[in-house]
Structure 1
């Protein structure tokens, strides 16, 4: 009903415009013998016909075939996929806090590290350049002389001026030095061109089909999970934060 009212209103406006222009044309263009083939009248007629056809063509165009933002990466990043990505990180945190790390889908783990370590204590340090993210430490039941680290990363997509895609991926490195375990995190920014308008018909660009939040829908953080020998003593400074889940 709303679309029909819009089409009718468009026709009424075009008819009034056509009649008004035709009336003015008859007054301005002289003599009458030249009226039939005058270039201005021909141009006015062609333009009016195009205006009359435009609502018909528009009403016949598909209204539900707009795709989400199509990236040059070769895949489509929808709101649903972004929500699923955030949900995976949240579910991983829930499982870790419950002591069920083994229940995490292995495909969620983006990086792993392992180190042999036999000393009784270790200095734990973190270093973040852009933003921090949670670090969980779980003590093993035995002293196996090994430190293991796992990262579950989250990728965030942002746009600059609506045309440039910025992929923001929270990454980290876990390094073992002399009696020191370092977690170094940073954000990697990779700019790529992005095509916001998939549909060829220009008017689709002004119907609200492509909103900026479709490109930046994700929230949450990446995370690090550490498994250490049961009796290993952790020494840290006030700036380095972690959560020990089975202390």
Structure 2
């Protein structure tokens, strides 16, 4: 619970300084303080500064520090992953991008691939046929980094849920993630002089590339719904 003592002290300081400034401006013959409206605007501005100064140490300290990332590098990583997958060179990709691996024993001749509840699947699916019918399906999920305003949010993202039920490979999207960000920026008067312009509340989001790479037995036939597109690699 926040103590009210610091707040009381700040309020007393504001009242005392406000009274002092009012008395001084009443006695002053300066043109700057000749108008009562200007005088009260100045007094109010100083009062707000004092209140913010006193209250800021009382704000919650439970914020999370995010790692800074280079947005251009994130985009290059995504392009490199996609190119490696489409050319069948997925082994050349850094293992740090592997977020999930599954292996299934499967000896049937046909396998259907479906998304739970017919949801939209934002993950690209690549299929590589093995040189033999070894009765095993390997599912590797790759995900490159994601960021917002040059801050990494990769650790917050969850992989697909993958499972086999009878003759169907079921894919389930992770739970939707809702992020709320608060960001401080320099005040408008300062931005006027440092060349950064005036007000700006835009955000820059980079969504990493998500790929499900399937290695299947040589003669296994795959079927899908219309919503799913499979890309076969050599």
TM-score normalized with structure 1 length: 0.58
> Of the candidates 151, 160, 185, which is equivalent to residue 141 of structure 2?
151
Structure 2 gap ranges (5+): 1-24, 39-62
**Higher alpha-carbon Rg:** 1
Does the alignment pair 1:75 with 2:84?
no
Residue 240 (structure 1) aligns with: 228
Residues 120 and 232, structure 1, Cα contact 8 Å, conserved in 2: yes
Shift of 1:101: 1.1
Residue 184 (structure 2) aligns with: 196
Residue 133 (structure 1) aligns with: 123
Structure 1 gap ranges (5+): 1-36, 48-71, 160-164
User: Partner of 1:230: helix, strand, or coil?
Assistant: coil
Alignment of 1:221-232 (within 5 A): 221-232=209-220
> Of the candidates 66, 69, 74, which is equivalent to residue 85 of structure 1?
74
Paired residues, number: 177
**How far apart, in 1, do the equivalents of 2:79 and 2:175 lie?**
19
Per-residue Cα deviation, 1:80-113 (whole angstroms, up to 9, x for no partner)? x233223222211101111111101000112222
Shift of 1:211: 4.6
User: Partner of 1:149: helix, strand, or coil?
Assistant: strand
> Of the candidates 77, 92, 101, which is equivalent to residue 103 of structure 1?
92
**How far apart, in 2, do the equivalents of 1:225 and 1:209 lie?**
46
Residues 188 and 198, structure 2, Cα contact 8 Å, conserved in 1: no
Residue 178 (structure 1) aligns with: 166
Shift in alpha-carbon separation, 1:109–1:204, aligned structure 2, 3 A: farther
Cα RMSD after superposing both structures: 3.7
